[in-house]
């Protein structure tokens, strides 16, 4: 059997006497969406930070395509294929959508140093940037200032910027945060269109989005995985309802 694209084993993070992640194991195959859900303070963002290299783990191992990247810095993991988005949108509002994505494109494709030729005139960079905007559903807005985009479109722009670094694994930290119902539906549709191109680790509170996208769910409570299964199994689990979902009825 082929090794998973992303494998996390025994990850632990402590802050003094506080155990934030407690021997977390995860495996993510190419083309799979694996959702990590749980209450506030469960350790979900810390887990993503450990995988991305922004937080050093006290114990455990992270492997990408069979390579041990546990000690690698953030930029090395990004170049190896880990793309990460954040809860808070990080764009340059004065730049156009295309210019924002071009910055990310240049980070992996470099600059061709054509004197005073503007980067927006360099097709070798513009073409892949526009492809990322198209995947994110924003190509029609490529010449619009990012700061004038609706908040949902700004979240899509951040996704396009993440795609521009040519990742193999997407680490998405609450991409639906702050979105209204229509914007959430739009982003779900975008993720459904691209899901088979990448392996996606999704941290998300919106359970309708989780159940629409995820192949597998891991439920994190006090830093520990208390249940793992398909969305239907999560929906039916008394353990999950007691720990997280309560008595809320979750629609299919």
| Cross-strand partners of 55 | none
| Residue 125 shares a structural domain with residue 184 | no
| Residue 175 shares a structural domain with residue 136 | no
| Residue 80 zone, left/alpha/beta (φ > 0; ψ -120 to 50; rest) | alpha
pTM (whole model) above 0.85:
yes
| Residue 18 shares a structural domain with residue 121 | no
C-alpha 49/C-alpha 191 separation (Å) is 21
| Residue 154 shares a structural domain with residue 182 | no
| Residue 2 shares a structural domain with residue 75 | yes
Chain segment 157-189, per-residue pLDDT in tens: 999 999 999 999 999 999 999 999 999 999 999
Task: Count up the domains in the chain and report the number.
Answer: 2
Range of the domain at 155: 89-166
Choosing from 147, 166, 185, the residue where a domain stops is 166
| Residue 177 shares a structural domain with residue 243 | yes
CATH number at residue 71: 3.40.50.300
Q: Which residues contact 239 (CB under 8 A, 6 or more apart)?
A: 219, 226, 227
SS3 percent helix, strand, coil of the chain, rounded to 5, is 40, 25, 35
Chain segment 43-76, per-residue pLDDT in tens: 999 999 999 999 999 999 999 999 999 999 999 9
| Residue 52 shares a structural domain with residue 159 | no
Choosing from 119, 142, 166, the residue where a domain stops is 166
């Amino acid at each position: 059997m082929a090794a998973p694209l992303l494998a996390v084993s025994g990850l632990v993070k402590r802050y003094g006497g506080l155990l934030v992640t407690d021997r977390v194991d995860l495996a993510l195959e190419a083309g799979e969406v694996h959702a990590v859900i749980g209450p506030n303070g469960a350790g979900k963002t810390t887990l993503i930070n450990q995988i991305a290299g922004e937080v050093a783990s006290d114990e455990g191992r992270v492997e990408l395509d069979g390579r041990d990247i546990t000690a690698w810095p953030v930029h090395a993991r990004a170049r190896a294929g880990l793309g990460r988005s954040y809860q808070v949108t990080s764009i340059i509002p004065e730049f156009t959508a295309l210019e924002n994505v071009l910055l990310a494109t240049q980070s992996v494709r470099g600059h061709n140093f054509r004197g005073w030729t503007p980067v927006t005139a360099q097709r070798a960079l513009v073409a892949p940037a526009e492809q990322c905007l198209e995947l994110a559903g924003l190509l029609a807005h490529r010449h619009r200032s990012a700061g004038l985009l609706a908040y949902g479109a700004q979240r899509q722009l951040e996704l396009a910027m993440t795609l521009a670094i040519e990742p193999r694994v997407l680490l998405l930290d609450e991409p639906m945060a702050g979105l209204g119902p229509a914007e959430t539906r739009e982003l779900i549709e975008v993720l459904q269109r691209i899901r088979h191109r990448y392996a996606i680790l999704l941290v998300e509170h919106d359970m309708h989005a989780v159940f629409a996208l995820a192949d597998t769910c891991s439920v994190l409570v006090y830093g520990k995985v208390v249940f793992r299964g398909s969305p239907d199994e999560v929906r039916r689990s008394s353990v999950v309802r007691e720990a997280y979902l309560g008595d809320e009825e979750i629609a299919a």
